[in-house]
Amino acid sequence: MTLCLRRAWLACVLLLSPLAVAGTVLENPQWRIELDAATLAMRVTPAGREPVQASSGVAAHAVSQLRQSTQHANWQWDKGAYRLSATLEQRDLVLTITAREAGELEIIRQPASAMGKGLIWPLAEGHYIPAGNRLWQDFLLEYGDMNSTQDLSLPLWGVDHERFTLNWLLTNPYNNRLQWQAEGPRLGLSLRHEFTALDPSAPMTLRLNLGEADMLAGAKRYRQWLVEQGLYEPLADKLQRLPAGEKLLGASHVYLWGNDLLGLGDVRDWAQLRTLLRAPEGLGAQLNGLLDPEAAQVVQAPQPFLDRYQQAVLLRGLNAALNKKARQAWQARAEPDMHALVEGYAAVRQALAVAFASALSTAPETWGSTLSATTLKTLEDSGLQRLLLTLGEGWEGGLWHPEAVRAGVEAGYLMAPYDSYQTALADTENPDWITAHLGSRAYRDCSIMLKNGQLKTGFQKSGHYTDPRCVRPLLQARVTAVQARAGFNAWFLDAYATGMLFDSYRSVLGMTQAQNAEGNIDAARWIASQLQLPVGSEDGNATTARGVLFAHGMQTPVMGWGDREMTQDKQSPYYVGAWYPPEEPAVFFKRVPLKEPLRTVYFAPAMRLPLYQAVFHGAVITSHHWLFDSLKLSNVQGENELTQLLYNVPPLYHLSAATLQQRLPMIQRQDGFFRPLHERLATQAMTDFRWLSRDRLVQQTTFADGTRLVANFAQEQRDRYPGRSVTALVVGAEPVVYQVNQQRP
């Protein structure tokens, strides 16, 4: 009874107090903010506009030492457990909260009414979500809790009130958790921040920005804030330090598959090949012992001649055996021997050329399937002047075929390996994921330790996620050694720009999320500065984008990762395919439709916004994630193509020896329109985006030099813009029109 009376008495005191009635008022000529210091409830009124309840307030805290002026207030919560300040800086309300000790604190409860006409949401490139849209509401509720470094491409969101926007900018993007709540036909949103034991004094800082009636207002303000803080790196400045990066301007991005040592055309005598593999000793016997069961069965088959399928099985098995043979020199060690790693592949190739001379072609420098001089010559002869060619399986292909890498470099292309350091595998785990084999010492000593003392399991529940500072010596040693031997002139670091960040509670080498981000950024910068290699990574999320020149996964992100139909049900039309065969994995090459609601959520043109480009166009070149290249999704290919061209970002393709001729015309066609524009615009900011039709299917982007790109997503002509087209309007030049090709490869 006493407890109930105390609660009732406290409620009365809060209701009757001058603070609860009048609140703390901050105002200037632009707007007025009424702030409840106990709950952080906020009511904002732009000059000449209707008020908006930006936050309905969190659970009340005891307020003390409140001091305020017309544009500033500071106070304490709970006897000094938290110190808060609110400052009005023109069109920004700046909030700062510091904590006395570790703990989680709720800061914002944005009610559904605050959404106005729609939500401006940085999921991947960006989206506009009309208020009350049930499909989006269900999607966001099912998505669950989000963090502001990985789940959001930019640490911000906004709401559209027709004649103005309100935009929250999380200037401390780390350790934040956002959660949606259904409030009738609309959504409310809450924000919580964790003050960690690793750095409890680190303040939580955020800004509420009063923007113009511009859906990019929040993104533009965030870009301006990055510039003010010295955290923005224009691409032009990066290229001054790294001239080789200029080859990215106008380049289409391509992943090559089928980069093993041998191609089908390299076998002159299949009968002799089998004879050599049946040898009782020597290299043939060693390789035979490393064959998979199906390939071993083909070796022992009684028929004298092999059909095409058997040849493919045997060659696939032989290439895998050769990889295993080369890896024996460096895998399953406390620390990889980098000299043995880079020299082992050449040694195996030379030994094979001698021992199998009677079965294989006599020039090992010409061997290979997709990664070969033949492929590079075909691409060069096709008129493709700018390409970024990345080896999908890692850097082994470059060690097998340094001549092909050199041919690509001489053709003017960027040649890069896929490389990875964020997961460290145990010696016995997945030997084919070569880039994650960092040695048993890194697996033990560099892993992330959670608050509960457990080690953080790595990608797909394999190995451990790593501290980038701890694996940095391995990265430097391996990148240097592989680059020197293979001749790559660019590099791709998987996952380092995804914003996937961890706190690590190791007693000797603790790490905050902010330190994790800086470790990732510094690794990319080291490769660029020390080896003069353009560096890219996955996604390009804002907190980890500095240091990279390009990123894969912003234009089309990873989708449906846990969806059974897409990833497990092989009978489903939406099944994306297996990671097989290795020379042309179906997961990359099989064309499939995208299911609902993913199709609408990610690709409906009327609900897409170039938020990321408003911040980073002219700083980072982004493209699609490799799981969903430009040709993967059959029922949104046109929308995907038009949006990509409208935002002036490069296409991304997968190529194999078998698909090269089929896919080349599509690559050439888009290159003819995209390359000259991107060469001109890649270093420029996107300054404006607007809808030119009421249904939002005609859209325009504008860049710093005045170039306008207009996309008409409708089937029919609109205002002289042909259906399903992008029109380039360059100052002083005739308009150039690109229409989606209705014929699909």
Kindly report, residue by residue over 152-181, the tens digit of the pLDDT. 999 999 999 999 999 999 999 999 999 999
Which amino acid appears at position 511 of this protein?
Answer: M
Residues 651 and 197: their CA atoms lie apart, in Å, by: 44
For residue 605, count other CB atoms closer than 10 A to its CB: 22
Tens of pLDDT, residue by residue over 638-670, are 999 999 999 999 999 999 999 999 999 999 999
Q: Taking 90 as the threshold, does the pLDDT of residue 741 lie above it? A: no
What is the pLDDT, as a whole number, of residue 285? 96
Backbone angles phi, psi at 57, to 5 degrees: 100, 150
Region of 500 on the Ramachandran plot (φ > 0 left; ψ -120 to 50 alpha; else beta): beta
The tokens describing 295, both together, are: 């390939």
For the stretch 607-637, pLDDT in tens is: 999 999 999 999 999 999 999 999 999 999 9
- Note the pLDDT of residue 8: 42
7 pLDDT above the threshold of 90:
no
Write the single-letter amino acid at 102.
Answer: A
Give the Cα separation of 495 and 193 in Å (integer).
Answer: 24
Provide the pLDDT for residue 14.
37
pLDDT of residue 21: 31
Is residue 52 within 8 Å of 8, Cβ to Cβ?
no
Q: What is the DSSP letter of 115?
A: G
Residue entry with tokens 């709401």: 159
Q: Is the pLDDT of residue 673 over 70?
A: yes
Query: How far apart (Å, rounded) are the C-alpha atoms in residues 176 and 514?
Result: 12
**H/E run at residue 275:** helix 270-277
- pLDDT at position 17, please? 37
Which pLDDT does position 744 carry in this prediction?
A: 52
Residue 687 — very low, low, confident or very high, per pLDDT cuts 50/70/90? very high
**DSSP, res 351:** H
pLDDT band per the 50, 70, 90 thresholds, residue 543:
very high
pLDDT at residue 101 greater than cutoff 50: yes
Q: What is the pLDDT of residue 563?
A: 93
pLDDT in tens, 421-436: 999 999 999 999 999 9
pLDDT value of residue 184: 82
CA atoms of 134 and 416, how far apart (whole Å): 43
Average pLDDT value for the chain: 94
Q: What is the pLDDT of residues 368-399, one digit of tens each?
A: 999 999 999 999 999 999 999 999 999 999 99
For 729, residues 6+ apart whose C-beta sits below 8 A from its C-beta are 707, 708, 709, 710, 735
From the DSSP assignment, how many helices (H) and strands (E) are in the chain? 22, 32
Query: Where residue 743 falls among pLDDT bands split at 50, 70, 90?
Result: low
If pLDDT is split at 50, 70 and 90, which confidence band does 304 have? confident
Inform me whether the pLDDT recorded for 200 exceeds 70: yes
Percent of the chain having pLDDT more than 90?
93
3-state secondary structure at position 254: strand
DSSP annotation string for 583-613 = TS-HHHH--BPPPTTHHHHHH-GGGB--HHH
Amino acid at 732: G
Query: What per-residue string of b and e applies to 207-227 under the rule 16 or more CB within 10 Å gives b?
Result: bbbbbeebbbbbbbbbbebbe
pLDDT band at 742 (very low <50, low <70, confident <90, very high): low
Q: What pLDDT is attached to residue 460?
A: 87
The sign one gets for the Cα dihedral 740, 741, 743, 745 is negative
Q: Which of 121, 126, 206, 210 is nearest to 161 (CA)?
A: 210
Eight-class DSSP state of 449: B
- 659 vs 369: CA distance, rounded Å: 12
Mean pLDDT within 282-307: 94
pLDDT, mean of residues 186-201: 95
pLDDT for 507 = 86
Given a cut of 90, whether residue 561 has pLDDT beyond it is no
Reduced to 3 states (helix: H, G, I; strand: E, B; else coil), residue 581 is coil
Rounded Cα–Cα distance for residues 516 and 558 (Å)? 22
| pLDDT over 70 (residue 306) | yes
Half-sphere exposure of 658 (CA within 13 A, CB side): 12
- The confidence score (pLDDT) of residue 12 equals 42
Mean pLDDT of 541-569: 95
Nearest 5°: the CA angle 231, 96, 140 is 75
